[in-house]
Amino acid sequence: MKSDIRVNSIFILGFDHKIIPTRLRGEIAISEQVKNEIYCECGKQKIKNLLILNTCNRVQFIGVGQKEALEKIFFKIVPNAQKYASYCRVLEGVDALKYLYSTASGIISKVIGDFDILNQFKIACKEAKEYGLLGGYFERLLNSCVQTTKEIRSSTSISTGSISPAYAVIKKLKNLKINEEQTILVIGLGQMGQNVAKNIREYFPRNELFISTRDREKTYNMSEKLSCKSVEFSAFQHAAIEADVVIASLANQKKPFITSDNIGFGSKTLIDLSVPISVDPELGKKNTLIDIDQISDYINSSINERKKDIPLAEKIIDSNIKKFIEWSNFYAEKQKIHAWKDAIETMVPKCLSLKSKLEQERIKKREMNEFVVALKKNSLQNHIVFESGFIESAICQSISQKYGCNRSLSCFLNR
């Protein structure tokens, strides 16, 4: 299907787990401070549309128009973006649409059908709107992505089953035959950290559980909710030495903070869900070390049923992209629609034979509907002369005929 200039101006720019190695992913992670710097720069340059999708598996700019300006901002502010430019994915037009819908739906996530990505997508949309970077057209596109994801989830098995990263941690611990005498420490209480802690309390209720994060109040409230022990973040080292299992789920660490200096010398199970990494890879030599990619690979090995529904999910995506392009093409004609509507509102009341207000409103509605239907069919093929004199003449002729000779406004489209 032929797309209009607005569709062709949609683009995606950035890094994702499919093209940048795990060892480098942490180096391009965006902190809240960096994100605010990006938003500030967008304000200075009067950027109109930008979504920043910043997760453990991707750092991407999504926008409509002003691509050159946003590329400069991206490579100027995103950490190490210029250094790793060869790993950068750049897509435009329909290719960008396909990728965007597939990302929101989770079918190209590290974990196929991942539930978290849609929530992250919605948060990014809310943030963009708060900063005035979500124009009407762009918002319509992103809403279409969200609705498409919901349709995929209700029509396929892409997101069925308990195979979230938090649940995969439980499966790993069970496979390692963690006994009830072993103590478990969870460091970091973001969404994933909270889910892990809740699952541990549910599936290992007799194990002693410790939790810790930078936010003291959050740690205390969570410990009360889960009936576990809270640990001051500044004092996590002692708890880490004593624990048999240490699970780290922190964001934006500049370097690993769990090292041989603070973990002790006993053999432990270390699970690192952080991006960048929180656990020094060297610890894997004397301990059981599991990172986020191993967790993801473990999950994907058990979701063959989800993979079977990917073709159906792609079919739903293609159908909704087609609908969006049709709407976009029609949206491009909004000036013509407004001009026709204004002329109808002006001319219909001037017809002396239409004395009834009810009849006038009926004719307005009928003429407008016929025009819109005809425009949808012909807007890409016809060059309509929208001069005020032509519009008024067409409307007057249509009304004067009183529809008796099968001539309505739509028949003037090819005039």
User: Which tens digit of pLDDT belongs to each residue from 86-109?
Assistant: 999 999 999 999 999 999 999 998
Is the sign of the CA dihedral 145, 105, 198, 189 positive or negative?
Answer: negative
Give per-residue pLDDT as tens, 340-381: 777 778 777 776 666 678 877 887 888 778 777 776 665 434
% of the chain beyond a pLDDT of 70: 85
**Rounded average pLDDT over 248-252:** 83
**Residue 276's pLDDT band (cuts 50, 70, 90):** confident
403: pLDDT strictly greater than 60: no
**Rounded average pLDDT over 167-174:** 88
Nearest to 4 by CA among 325, 324, 320: 325
135: pLDDT strictly greater than 80: yes
Element containing residue 149 per DSSP (H, E): helix 136-155
- Check residue 292 and give its pLDDT: 84
Domains in the chain with CATH codes = 5-158+309-327 (3.30.460.30), 165-292 (3.40.50.720), 334-412 (no CATH)
Q: What are phi and psi of 289, to 5 degrees?
A: -115, 125
- Check residue 390 and give its pLDDT: 59
Least confident range of 1-5, 219-223, 408-412? 408-412
Q: How far is the C-alpha of 193 from the C-alpha of 216, rounded, in Å?
A: 15
Q: How far is the C-alpha of 133 from the C-alpha of 120, rounded, in Å?
A: 17
- 372's CB contacts (< 8 A; 6+ apart) are 337
Give me the sheet containing 58-64, strands edge to edge: 51-55, 58-64, 10-16, 89-92
Least confident range of 100-109, 137-146, 383-392? 383-392
Nearest to 54 by CA among 38, 70, 73: 38
- Check residue 244 and give its pLDDT: 92
Is the sign of the CA dihedral 90, 96, 101, 104 positive or negative?
Answer: positive
Least confident range of 311-315, 401-405, 407-411? 407-411
Least confident range of 156-165, 281-290, 375-384, 404-413? 404-413
Beta-carbon count within 10 A of 87 CB: 17
- Check residue 65 and give its pLDDT: 92
Q: What are phi and psi of 379, to 5 degrees?
A: -65, -25
**Residue 163's pLDDT band (cuts 50, 70, 90):** low
Helix and strand totals (H; E) in the chain: 18, 10
Bridge partner residues of 58 (DSSP): 16, 55
What does pLDDT average to over the chain?
Answer: 84
Give whole-number Cα distances, 146 to 117, 125, 152, 320, in Å: 11, 10, 10, 11
- Check residue 110 and give its pLDDT: 81
% of the chain beyond a pLDDT of 90: 47
**Rounded average pLDDT over 13-21:** 93
Rg of the chain (C-alpha set): 28
Bridge partner residues of 184 (DSSP): 209, 245
214: pLDDT strictly greater than 50: yes
- Check residue 396 and give its pLDDT: 64
DSSP 285: G
Element containing residue 130 per DSSP (H, E): helix 116-130
- Check residue 115 and give its pLDDT: 72
265: pLDDT strictly greater than 70: no
Asked whether 126 and 142 are in contact (CB, 8 A), the reply is: no
Asked whether 146 and 122 are in contact (CB, 8 A), the reply is: yes
Two tokens, residue 196: 């892990």
Q: How far is the C-alpha of 389 from the C-alpha of 173, rounded, in Å?
A: 77
Half-sphere exposure at residue 319, Cβ-oriented, CA atoms within 13 angstroms: 11
Q: How far is the C-alpha of 295 from the C-alpha of 278, rounded, in Å?
A: 15
37: pLDDT strictly greater than 90: yes
Q: How far is the C-alpha of 221 from the C-alpha of 250, rounded, in Å?
A: 18
Q: Model-level pTM?
A: 0.63
**Residue 406's pLDDT band (cuts 50, 70, 90):** very low
- Check residue 408 and give its pLDDT: 42
Pairing state of beta strands 51-55 and 58-64? antiparallel
**Residue 405's pLDDT band (cuts 50, 70, 90):** very low
Element containing residue 274 per DSSP (H, E): none
**Rounded average pLDDT over 382-389:** 48
